[in-house]
Structure 1
């Protein structure tokens, strides 16, 4: 394979059993001749074996999902949500509108009478330029 991510994706498809017969036969042939692919499949299978201590029966599948759920629940970011601490924190500050008018800089500052005066001046300059160009 030309890319490591392609090799890992292909190894994952092989380990999870997502390949059709032709691709599986090709992957098994590559296991014999491609050491990088073989190592990737072995590493992925070892990682998955850690999640599957019971085997591959129906009870084993239920136990795997419980184990995955348990490991997810053990993550530090999940403790705050499960303990109800996230609800007791005050909500973040959200700015709904500006309390005072913007000043000085930017496009938002060209409103009102000043903006109208600038627009008229530009219109007059362009009109004079057009008239001077046609004469």
Structure 2
């Protein structure tokens, strides 16, 4: 039994046409008898169809690839990757100031009076330990 990752990889090979004749015939047979493989092929084909607009079926493969790159470049997560066409540089992210004082565990967690109290308590504990060890 194939795992989910193997099934998705095989469905991708089928959808992209990367299989030889023997593998394609076996995949077409599996489409009829294996519902999980059929669902994987249909999901992947739907995703690929979403990248191609209605009028692009007659375009050459280079034009299709440029169309796919342009559609991927329009995605929000691809803004900084260089795939989009606009040459506008995004503004750098700058932290101007902290809205509230840091808290919790860390370098700034015991500042002010509380830090002084903790330091005095540690000093007293070490002094008592030293005295108890020497007596």
Class of the TM-score when normalised by the shorter of the 2 chains = 0.5 to 0.7
SS of equivalent residue, structure 1 residue 27 = helix
Distance in 2 (alpha carbons) for counterparts of 1:76 and 1:8: 23
**Partner of residue 30, structure 2:** 30
Hey, which of these two has a bigger chunk of helix by percent? 1
User: How big is the shift at 1:76?
Assistant: 4.8
- Describe the shift of the 1:49–1:73 C-alpha distance in structure 2 as closer, same or farther (beyond 3 A): closer
Structure 1: give runs of 5+ residues left out of the alignment: 91-135
**Partner of residue 83, structure 1:** 88
Larger radius of gyration: 1
**Partner of residue 6, structure 1:** 6
User: How big is the shift at 1:33?
Assistant: 0.3
Structure 2: give runs of 5+ residues left out of the alignment: 95-135
Number of residue pairs the alignment of both structures matches: 89
Give the TM-score normalised by structure 2: 0.53
Give the TM-score normalised by structure 1: 0.53
SS of equivalent residue, structure 2 residue 57 = coil
SS of equivalent residue, structure 2 residue 12 = helix
